[in-house]
Amino acid sequence: MKRLLSPSMMCADFRNLEREVRALEKAGSDLFHIDVMDGVYTPNLTLGLQDIKAIRSLTSLPLDAHLMMVNPGDKIDWFIKAGCDIIYIHPKADAFPTKTLLKIKEAGVHPGIAINPEESVESVREMLPLCDDLLIMSVHPGFAGQKFLDFVEPKIKELVKLKSTYGYTIFLDGNCTPAVIEKYANIGVDGFVLGTSALFRDGLSYQEALAGLR
């Protein structure tokens, strides 16, 4: 089965955004991952609506928005209208996460949840039937370049086993090196968010990097 490779656009060169999007698309990206941080839920600010709209105007590939913000349900219409195809929320950051997931789905967009390293399967189990996609965090959300947290492996394996029951797609996000991608693709993870560990590195073209990961 083909594994999905999703460049993390917070690592791209925004001085040359059109060139970056075209090059990543030509190199074989399957979708684009867009991190949206509000400076409250995470101690960082990253991409926003104008960035999403700009990327949307440059590509027909799917866009997935990872909303690292408090009360995402209050703002979910922004991201639906901006053209996102997948929207992830952090359930604990939303007063009514199931309501938000249903609203995303009713809009014809794929709803998903992001699961932090310290969060268990049991803490999100009731929401799994509402999700088309899961984003398993192998680092703490907020910054690129963090160390992969090995203790998430049992959770990954458990959620892979539950795929046949709930029918979601699993993406792994956080220090996805080539070795991590090989290991967890074999375990059953469907897709990987690519940042500075595997794609946005000096001395390696996007074409070479993605071909090597394939």
What pTM, to 2 d.p., does this model score?
0.95
User: Which pLDDT tens digit goes with each residue over 53-90?
Assistant: 999 999 999 999 999 999 999 999 999 999 999 999 99
Closest C-alpha to 206, from 29, 9, 8: 29
Residue with tokens 């309501």: 99
What does the alpha-carbon distance between residue 8 and residue 154 come to, in Å, rounded to a whole number?
25
Task: Tell me whether residue 150 is one of the annotated catalytic residues.
Answer: no
133 is a catalytic site residue: no
CATH level 3 topology of 4-213: TIM Barrel (3.20.20)
Catalytic residue among 13, 35, 150, 190: 35
Q: How many CB atoms are closer than 10 A to CB 144?
A: 17
Q: What is the pLDDT of residues 116-159, one digit of tens each?
A: 999 999 999 999 999 999 999 998 876 666 788 889 999 999 99
Can you say whether the dihedral through the CA atoms of 104, 1, 124, 65 is positive or negative?
negative
The catalytically annotated residue of 38, 51, 94, 173 is 173
- The structural domains of the chain, with segments of one domain joined by +, span 4-213
